[in-house]
Amino acid sequence: MDKETLFYMSADTIEELKPVTEVFDLSGKVAVVTGTVGLALVVIDRLAQCGAKVVFGSRTEEWGLMAEEALREKGYEVKYLRTDVRKVEDCFALTRFAEENYGNVDIVVPVAATWGPRAFVDMKEEEWDDVIDTDLKGQYFTVQAAARSMIRGGKGGKVVTIASVAHRADDMTKIAMMTNYNAAKAGVVGITKGIAKELKQYGINVNCIAPGGMLTPGAMMNSIRSHELYGEEWEEDVKTYGIKTPMCSTLDEVAFMILTMCTDASNFMYGQIIEIDGGSQFSFQEKPWSYTMENGKHA
């Protein structure tokens, strides 16, 4: 086969490419999201901006109604339903609400989460249960409810679970104290892979985003009780060592990747864990030690 023929075998494929604007066009799609502030709010905004109708829920009704109003003022088709993802019946009620208003679900992103630093030896059963039930059980049954809707709809769908770099035991530098959160997010990684293997047959892509450091209203609220329990010295250590944890400059740095995984861009991806953590596993070089480059320290 000559080079010209080989070239046109490749060139012909670019004529068939879907325009990027169409790849990110979610018009006609119905999305279910859990959570109302922080990352969840930006995810809802991005999905709606691309044309999706979004139903979202959380247990904090005040925030939910405020979010609904703010998003509708931007012209988005969104609806809020008070939802406690710790309760399986609420997870299913959220999907029913979406179906009643817009039809079968096409996208689900269970963002809702909680955490609160506790020493392992101090952990109370109710503190363990709250994090596990919200961050793991809540995701599992929110996805199950939405997946059933996707299967009924017969058009496939996109599932994007939300883990954290805490799944690999990355937590607060030199402090740790997040064993329930570590367990929950490691569990999210595990169920993502398992669910992905089962749902591929229905044309459903299941993948996971694992964010690193993010400053959100929920994170700030969840830390208040820990500050009360462990005192000023603990709080000072959190501030001192927290500087060494890479923090995303905007929540959209995470939300936009979640959005991408909700589009045709993820059509050939199954059970993948995408970590967005500012390179927290690396020790980055800070000085240009080059002797060959003009701006190097030894040039």
Of 181, 202, 270, 291, catalytic: 181
pLDDT at 10: 86
Question: Which residues form the domain of 173?
Answer: 26-276
Residue 10 lies inside a defined structural domain of this protein: no
**Residue 149: phi, psi to the nearest 5?**
-65, -45
**Total number of domains in the chain:** 1
User: Does residue 256 lie in a domain region?
Assistant: yes
Instruction: Write out the chain's pLDDT in tens, 299 residues.
Output: 788 888 888 888 888 899 999 999 999 999 999 999 999 999 999 999 999 999 999 999 999 999 999 999 999 999 999 999 999 999 999 999 999 999 999 999 999 999 889 999 999 999 999 999 999 999 999 999 999 999 999 999 999 999 999 898 877 778 888 999 999 999 999 999 999 999 999 999 999 999 987 777 766 676 777 888 888 888 888 888 777 777 777 999 999 999 999 999 999 999 999 999 888 888 888 899 999 998 888 87
In a domain, 7, yes or no: no
In a domain, 298, yes or no: no
Selection from 63, 61, 49, 77 nearest residue 216 by Cα: 63
> Which of 144, 182, 142, 189 has its CA nearest to residue 162?
189
Is 3 inside a domain boundary?
no
Q: Helix 179-199 vs helix 138-153: angle between axes, to the nearest 10 degrees?
A: 20
Whichever domain contains 127, its CATH number is 3.40.50.720
Residues linked to residue 204 through DSSP beta bridges, in sequence order: 157
pLDDT at 249: 78
Say whether 181 is catalytic: yes
Compute the distance between CA of residue 33 and CA of residue 148 in angstroms, rounded to an integer. Answer: 16
Residue 37 lies in a domain: yes
Phi, psi of 8 (to 5 degrees): -70, -20
Confirm whether 16 is domain-assigned.
no
How far apart CA 225 and CA 117 sit, in angstroms, is 9
pTM score, whole prediction = 0.93
pLDDT at 222: 67
Closest by CA to 266, choosing from 75, 138, 106, 119, is: 106
Is residue 206 assigned to a domain?
yes
